[in-house]
Amino acid sequence: MRKGAKKQRKIRGKSTFIASILSVFGKNPHRPFNYKQISSQLGIRDKASKDIVNTILKELVEAKEIEEVRPGKYKLNSQNIGRFANKSSYITGKVDMKQTGKAYIISDEGGDDIYIAANNTSRAFHGDQVKVLLFPQRKNKKPEGQIVEILSRTKENYVGIIKISRYFAFVIPDSSLIHTDIFIPLEKIKGAKDGQKVIAKITEWPDQSKNPLGIIIQVLGKPGDNNVEMQSILAEHDFPLSFPKNVEKEASKITGEITKEDLKTRRDLRKITSFTIDPSDAKDFDDALSIQKLPNGNWEIGVHIADVSHFVKPNDLIDKEAFDRATSIYLVDRVIPMLPEALSNGVCSLRAKEDKFCFSAVFEMDESAQILNQWFGKTIIYSNRRFNYDEVQEIIENEEGELVDEILVLNKLAKKLREQRYKDGSINFRSNDVRFNLDDEGKPLSVYVKEQKDSNRLIEDFMLLANRKVAEFIGKKKVKGQAKTFIYRIHDEPNPEKLNTFLQFVNKLGYQMKISTRTNLSQSFNSLFSAIRGKGEENMIETIAIRTMAKAEYSTHNIGHYGLAFQYYSHFTSPIRRYPDLITHRLLELYLNGKASVSQDEYEKMCVHCSEMERKAEAAERESVKYKQAEFMLDKIGQQFFGLISGVSKWGLYVEIEENKCEGMVRLKDMRDDFYYLDEDNYQVIGQRYGTQYKLGDRVKILVKRIDISKKQMDFELVG
């Protein structure tokens, strides 16, 4: 009794702090939080206060105010929900629509996703913000509900095929997630012809109408045409197809002229050997490296980044357009730049044999790649040589060629940085980067997988170094216990439930992982990725591993980067193609000049926008790859290939062709030698009559049966 009284006195002594913590749980009664997330919600940044939050959470568990739903994650105790939270049976959230017509709602309050049956989705589309009526939850069942109100549409323009009849027209959306056609009055078709690809805008959806009404805002052209299909992908994800004329005009006025006044305010590094290393087809050169040996025997390594912020000023026409886009998009056959080409490929690009403005990170390093000194500031450089990755790789392998001594030293130092990063717990995530050789009309002639070699890793390691050190430079400096507002690239620790599911998955495939410590887990991931190299299950395991992890994003609330094992990390090295890097440059310059911190709320909104646009760009890039793979296989119907089973489902086997990495499905209904059923626990299908098994990773021979290029799908058939 005395012990309990002591505990109550301890809690009452912190009553204000406790009330603030409980209010966070009360506003989000179904969402679990860890102490870092609670601290972030309360605007707490210093370690001492975070430790107090952590202590109070444990005390509140003992006092039965909250419960620990999993290690380090806390939620309001169920009997206290009524005290702190609205008892309403409604929630709001974002629609995650499925091809079958059903949907899941990602709740704004966190917690489990809400299942919505196809007949309860109302008129919601994928990505819409909606209000949901929750049904009484059944025992051992996931929460279900019904969409009762659409709060906001995620988009209003949709790409599809127009069908024109005598009295009306309608657009069949390309997206398999849109399950209704758009009705178009004949006077609103904008000259479109039957069967063309168009962009339709939904204008209204009358209560009595089964279909939404719309107008055609742009005719793209004939389906199957390369340019039409690439534009369709961009338009479907709401990316602009061109720059506004006034933005292009503004960009054309910027000359990049270097004046004497400019030289007075910059560190002149033009006499130091500098060069760029990029893909052979690159035109926008964001970064350059410089190297010189110092009198004391150490190395001075410069990471020089295009000084976009010198030319693009906050809130000017170019800046507003760049912010809206937030990123460049890299489709298979083209780049849709964030900045007009006059800047991205011209004025800002670090082209060889030209004086260029940079924002630089300069490091003094010893032979072990230990950082002894660092400097950040505005510079002017002269790139002596433009290399591509293949050229540098040849120099590394043969130890001869132009600037061989400089490149070999940089490669040696990069390897030291990499070794230390892995030792500290960095995870070596890899993915198959599929590339195409295209003819002049964009038709794929061959498919290959881009291999990461030492030349690629060399650049990667120095870019990681600059990004980390810039973030540390700002984040570690505290004024009255707080760091100045900055843009961080954050990556949260994996969800324990997802991680446990992943461990069970790989265990059944014969792979073991240790998760007792952070170091053991990262080493286990890296060992796993090495063990599956070249095997049938490689792509699936790596994909699921990435999904197990949290998604990296931008935020002013720093929680570190779990995957890289960095406590502080930013994006500083690509301002030509990423808007967060441009913000980073502006803030770094501001703080180097001793200016006060900017508004965190304002910059957090920018972070949310940039993270969302990054996800959309990635989706568009994936779609362009799938389209080109389907197009490449179009003339190979009837041909046979060897492939590896890369996935299993209740519909069939996914098979990835060995020689070109194109993936298609062998449907169970087409496997007519037996009736096959899915053995989900063991990642295989089994014939009911003869017991034949097809398991994840097995090598099989397939025949290309059917290609649906509009849906970017390939159907295969087992042979032999």
Domain CATH code at residue 674: 2.40.50.140
Residue that terminates a domain, selected from 109, 137, 152: 152
Model pLDDT, residue 607: 97
d(CA 54, CA 7): 16
Residue that terminates a domain, selected from 48, 63, 84: 84
Summarised one tens digit per residue, pLDDT across range 101-156 is 999 998 887 777 899 988 889 899 999 999 998 876 655 677 888 898 999 998 98
Task: List CB contacts of 432: < 8 A, sequence separation 6 or more.
Answer: 449, 539, 661
On whether residue 550 sits in a domain, the answer given is no
d(CA 578, CA 562): 21
d(CA 338, CA 323): 8
The DSSP line for 39-99 is HHHTT--SHHHHHHHHHHHHHHHHTTSEEEEETTEEEE-GGGHHHHS---SEEEEEEEE-T
Task: List CB contacts of 512: < 8 A, sequence separation 6 or more.
Answer: 506, 524
Rg of the Cα atoms in the chain? 28
On whether residue 48 sits in a domain, the answer given is yes
Summarised one tens digit per residue, pLDDT across range 26-75 is 767 778 889 888 888 777 877 878 888 888 898 888 888 888 888 889 98
- Which H helix or E strand runs over 149? strand 145-152
Residues 564 and 489: beta-carbon distance below 8 Å:
no
Do 192 and 304 lie in one domain? The reply is: no
Model pLDDT, residue 397: 97
On whether residue 539 sits in a domain, the answer given is no
On whether residue 237 sits in a domain, the answer given is no
Task: List CB contacts of 54: < 8 A, sequence separation 6 or more.
Answer: 35
On whether residue 17 sits in a domain, the answer given is yes
Residues of the chain scoring pLDDT < 70: 1-17, 19, 27, 78-88, 136-140, 431-432
Instruction: Please tell me what DSSP assigns to residue 459.
Output: H
Do 360 and 479 lie in one domain? The reply is: yes
Do 473 and 352 lie in one domain? The reply is: yes
On whether residue 627 sits in a domain, the answer given is no
Beta bridge partners of 327: 578
Model pLDDT, residue 19: 66
Model pLDDT, residue 545: 84
d(CA 103, CA 583): 36
Do 311 and 455 lie in one domain? The reply is: yes
Beta bridge partners of 576: none
Do 191 and 278 lie in one domain? The reply is: no
Model pLDDT, residue 17: 67
On whether residue 540 sits in a domain, the answer given is no
Q: Residue 133 is encoded by which pair of tokens?
A: 């009526």
Do 351 and 432 lie in one domain? The reply is: yes
Task: List CB contacts of 541: < 8 A, sequence separation 6 or more.
Answer: 505, 506, 509, 511, 528, 532
Do 332 and 475 lie in one domain? The reply is: yes
Do 77 and 139 lie in one domain? The reply is: no
Q: Residue 194 is encoded by which pair of tokens?
A: 């039957």
On whether residue 524 sits in a domain, the answer given is no
Task: Report the phi/psi class of residue 183: left, alpha or beta, with left for phi > 0 and alpha for psi in -120 to 50.
Answer: beta
Count the neighbouring beta carbons within 10 Å of the beta carbon of residue 70. 13
d(CA 520, CA 499): 14
CATH number at residue 50: 1.10.10.10
The DSSP line for 160-200 is EEEEE-SS-EEEEES-TT--S-EEE-GGGSTT--TT-EEEE
d(CA 92, CA 148): 10
Task: Residue count of the chain, please give it.
Answer: 720
Do 366 and 251 lie in one domain? The reply is: yes
Residue that terminates a domain, selected from 84, 109, 129: 84
Residues 631 and 668: beta-carbon distance below 8 Å:
no
Q: Residue 140 is encoded by which pair of tokens?
A: 């051992």
Q: Which residue has the tokens 């702190």?
A: 84
d(CA 430, CA 421): 16
This prediction has a pTM of 0.82
Do 352 and 274 lie in one domain? The reply is: yes
Q: Which domain holds residue 714?
A: 637-719
Q: Residue 654 is encoded by which pair of tokens?
A: 């996914």
Do 120 and 28 lie in one domain? The reply is: no
Q: What share of the chain is helix, strand, coil (3-state, %, to 5)?
A: 35, 30, 35
How many structural domains compose the chain? Answer: 5
Do 51 and 124 lie in one domain? The reply is: no
